[in-house]
Amino acid sequence: MENALKLDGKRVLITGASRGIGAMAARCVGALGGEVVLVDLLSCAALRDEFNGRGIRAQSFQADVAKRAELEQVAAACGPVAAAVACAGICPFEDWLSDSGWDEIFHQVMDVNLLGPINVARVWLPRLVAQGGGKLVMVGSIAGRMGGTSPIVQPHYVASKGGVHALVYWLAQRYAPKGVRINGVAPGPVETEMTATTPYDTARFPLGRRAKPEEIAWPIAFLCGSGADFMSGAILDVNGGLFVG
């Protein structure tokens, strides 16, 4: 029996790939034999060179996921992909009751966290359909399930990630008949640069700790491969037991 977890010969595009979960997802894809297309507002050149130096084919592009035209340019330059992962996200902590620029911050969060995945879908879904199928993975959050696990998490982030989950459901119903499987991952708190200063009461976490980035990245990589061929419209709750439902 063929190993359905391998990604040999498959090219996977990942947004938000410069660090955190996105960078680790790229490493997992590479470890499974896949090629990677790294996309981020920041440069991914160092990570690309690391992969190429290890014999893993990699490309990198700087693009703003909130700008569809920039993603169209990436798609034209990188060539066909077997899977696309919408991982780019931000999580500001400014108080939502503050009048100090919070409205602008709200729109920034929605642009990156929700419009970004929509743009990934608008750019790559037609290409995946045209080539006969593929995978699209969107990274949501436990915040979109239960409102967050830290008192400083704000409603713009919660709403944006809940929107990502709803988008997975909406797209999956429409694109499964066209050969594209669309699924999501909802991580619990993860040890990344984005959450480094976030206070968490890990004593109340069932596993007593936050996740390591690779513990979220491996499920993402799984959803990109043939082992997930019968999955469509699923949100994998990877949260150490914090949310069960």
Report, as residue numbers or ranges, the catalytic residues. Answer: 157
- Cα separation, 164 vs 153, in Å, equals 17
Burial tier of 42 (Cβ tally within 10 Å: 0-12, 13-18, 19+): exposed
Assess contact for 86 and 137: CB atoms under 8 A: yes
Sorted by sequence, the CB contacts under 8 Å of residue 2 that are 6+ apart come out as: none
Burial tier of 86 (Cβ tally within 10 Å: 0-12, 13-18, 19+): buried
Burial tier of 194 (Cβ tally within 10 Å: 0-12, 13-18, 19+): middle
